[in-house]
Amino acid sequence: MAIEKLFLPFQEYECQGKMIYDSDEIDDVTFTVKQMQNGEIIGTMKISSTAFSTVYNLFRSGKSFQLSGIDGSGSRIDVNHCFLTSIRTSTDSILSAEFNAFETILNPERLKDNPKNKLVILFALLNVDETFKVNVDTRLGKLYFHPIKGYKDILPVIKTLGVSGITTVAKLLIETPDTSLTFKKILSDAIDVIEGILWITRLADGCYHNWCSVSIFEKMKDQEKYERVLYEMKRPKIKPPRYRRLTNPAHSHIFIRSAYAGYLRREKELNELYDFNIALEWYLEANIASVLESKYLMLCTCLELLVDRYQTKSGTEFILDQTTFKNLYSILVATARECMEKSEIESDRRKEIYMKLKGLNRRSFRSGIESLLNHLKVKYDDLFDDIGVIVRIRNKITHSGTYDNADELFDAFNRLYMLLARIFLSILNYEHDYFDWVKREWVNLRDSRTN
Question: Tens digit of pLDDT for each residue in 63-75?
Answer: 999 999 999 999 9
Q: Does residue 151 share a domain with residue 73?
A: no
| Residue-averaged pLDDT of the chain | 92
Question: Tens digit of pLDDT for each residue in 289-303?
Answer: 999 999 999 999 999
The confidence score (pLDDT) of residue 86 equals 94
Instruction: Kindly report the length of the chain.
Output: 451
Question: Quick check: is 343 in a domain?
Answer: no
Which of the pair, 340 or 432, is modelled with greater confidence? 432
Q: Does residue 242 share a domain with residue 162?
A: yes
The confidence score (pLDDT) of residue 2 equals 64
Question: Tens digit of pLDDT for each residue in 221-234?
Answer: 878 899 999 999 99
Which of the pair, 172 or 53, is modelled with greater confidence? 172
The confidence score (pLDDT) of residue 259 equals 97
Q: How far is it, in rounded angstroms, from Cα 447 to Cα 132?
A: 26
Percent of the chain with pLDDT over 70: 99
DSSP 94-149: EEEEEEEESEEEESGGGGG----S-EEEEEEEES----SS-EEE-SSSEEEEEEPT
Q: Does residue 77 share a domain with residue 137?
A: no
Domain boundary among 104, 121, 151: 104
Domain count, the chain: 3
Q: How far is it, in rounded angstroms, from Cα 269 to Cα 283?
A: 20
DSSP 304-351: HHHHHHHHHHHT-SBSS-HHHHHHHHHHHHHHHHHHHHHTT--HHHHH
The confidence score (pLDDT) of residue 91 equals 67
Question: Quick check: is 79 in a domain?
Answer: yes
Question: Quick check: is 97 in a domain?
Answer: yes
Q: Does residue 398 share a domain with residue 380?
A: yes
The confidence score (pLDDT) of residue 390 equals 96
Q: Does residue 119 share a domain with residue 84?
A: no
pTM for the complete prediction? 0.90
Q: Does residue 168 share a domain with residue 46?
A: no
CATH classification of the domain holding 35: 2.40.10
Q: pLDDT at residue 411 above 90?
A: yes
Please tell me what DSSP assigns to residue 379.
-
Percent of the chain with pLDDT over 90: 76
Q: Does residue 194 share a domain with residue 125?
A: yes
Question: Tens digit of pLDDT for each residue in 16-45?
Answer: 999 999 888 999 999 999 999 999 999 999
- The whole domain housing 85 covers 2-104
The confidence score (pLDDT) of residue 222 equals 77
Residues in contact with 324: Cβ distance below 8 Å, sequence separation at least 6, in sequence order: none
Question: Tens digit of pLDDT for each residue in 251-269?
Answer: 999 999 999 999 999 999 9
